[in-house]
């Protein structure tokens, strides 16, 4: 049975030094008795095994405490924001905090003020036009309904109301009366998404398509001496870019599909009833194209016109979602910290 070797003897055998020369190196280490001390047991095991060489040197003094294991970091995932009514949200993850999306509010206020003034001017000028002659009927019968029997003039009134309400929202926002602005805001968005945008697009595109095909169906040559050229373009051309600019540069919360289509159906049925009333009094339709069609053709024209307006209504909702996303910041409710 091999006797346990001492560490000085091991160092002397490997390095050629005597045990007396290397004994002082281990004088500071206390003697470990028993296998209760792990470093002492490891040192004795190294001495007994011929495969182990010199024990690794370690600094003098007490052993450093063992480091505690660091728990792994857990990733934080923010809970999803519930959508608001109508398919859009009031807060936007893409918008920086404390800043609303869209053009600056003073610029939007000026835009709405100029637009409201423009459509009010065009509407006033259209109402001053003389009544259009209708064959040999009396003047009071021909003047029944006045300019309000035309969808173009009704659309001018609709645009003036829309931009007036939008201007009111901007003024309330600049005055920091967000309670009043939030009260008017749903009516503005519902009016634009349901009737103002689709009817403007329909009036402009349908008028110029029929005008290029056969102007006698929609705008006879006799009207050139009554309606100025600039007024014709103001009523049928300018409404197209105004609607697109309002959609692209003003953030809004588009109404739900059910709300906007319901209001659109009510509006279209109301205008059809008004047109039938005018025909029953005057004996002619407001637009010459209806006089050249049979009752079945008139019904088909009304149905096709409604389908075209409904398409523009859905197109406006799609473009609003593509431009502004599913989340829109309309009011800046964050408070700046005082320095």
**Contact between residue 203 and residue 163 where contact means Cβ atoms under 8 Å apart:** no
The alpha carbons of the chain give a radius of gyration, in whole angstroms, of 43
From 241, 212, 252, select the one nearest 103 (Cα to Cα).
252
Q: Where in the chain are the domains? A: 105-324
pLDDT at residue 13 in the model: 46
pLDDT at residue 75 in the model: 55
Reported as a single tens digit per residue, the pLDDT across 147-173 is 899 999 999 999 999 999 999 999 998
Reported as a single tens digit per residue, the pLDDT across 85-136 is 444 444 344 444 433 445 557 888 999 999 999 999 999 999 988 876 655 4
Can you list the alpha helix ranges (DSSP code H) found in the chain?
Answer: 7-15, 19-22, 38-48, 105-127, 139-142, 151-174, 178-191, 197-214, 229-236, 239-249, 257-282, 288-291, 295-324
Residue recorded with tokens 């588009």: 254
Residue 82: CA count within 13 A, CB half-sphere: 2
Name the DSSP letter for residue 283: S
From 7, 51, 15, 53, select the one nearest 31 (Cα to Cα).
7
For the chain, give the mean pLDDT. Answer: 76
Nearest-10 Cα torsion for 242, 246, 248, 253: -150
């Amino acid at each position: 049975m091999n006797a346990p070797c001492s560490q000085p003897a091991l160092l002397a055998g490997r390095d050629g030094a005597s045990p007396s020369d290397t004994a002082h190196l281990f004088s500071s280490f206390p003697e470990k008795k028993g296998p209760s001390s792990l470093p002492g047991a490891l040192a004795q095991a190294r001495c007994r095994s011929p495969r182990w060489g010199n024990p690794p040197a370690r600094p003098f003094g007490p052993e450093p405490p063992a480091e505690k294991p660091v728990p792994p970091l857990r990733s934080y995932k923010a809970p999803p924001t519930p959508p608001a009514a109508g398919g859009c949200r009031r807060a936007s993850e893409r918008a920086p905090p404390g800043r609303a999306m869209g053009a600056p509010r003073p610029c939007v206020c000026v835009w709405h003020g100029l637009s409201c003034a423009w459509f009010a001017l065009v509407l006033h000028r259209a109402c001053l036009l003389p009544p259009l002659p209708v064959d040999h009927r009396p003047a009071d019968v021909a003047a029944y309904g006045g300019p309000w029997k035309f969808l173009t003039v009704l659309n001018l009134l609709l645009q003036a109301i829309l931009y007036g309400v939008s201007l009111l929202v901007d003024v309330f926002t600049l005055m920091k009366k967000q309670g009043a602005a939030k009260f008017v805001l749903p009516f503005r968005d519902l009016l634009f998404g349901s009737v103002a945008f689709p009817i403007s697009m329909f009036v402009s595109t349908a008028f110029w398509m029929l005008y290029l095909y056969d102007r006698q169906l929609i705008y006879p040559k006799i009207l050139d001496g009554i309606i100025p050229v600039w007024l014709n373009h103001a009523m049928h051309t300018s409404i197209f870019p105004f609607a697109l600019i309002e959609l692209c540069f003003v953030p809004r919360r588009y109404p739900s599909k059910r709300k906007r289509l319901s209001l659109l159906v009510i509006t279209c049925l109301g205008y059809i009833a008004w047109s039938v009333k005018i025909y029953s009094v005057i004996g002619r339709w407001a637009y010459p194209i209806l006089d050249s069609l049979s009752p079945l053709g008139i019904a088909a024209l009304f149905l096709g016109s409604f389908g075209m307006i409904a398409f523009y209504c859905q197109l406006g909702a799609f473009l609003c979602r593509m431009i502004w996303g599913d989340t829109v910041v309309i009011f800046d409710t964050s408070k700046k910290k005082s320095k």
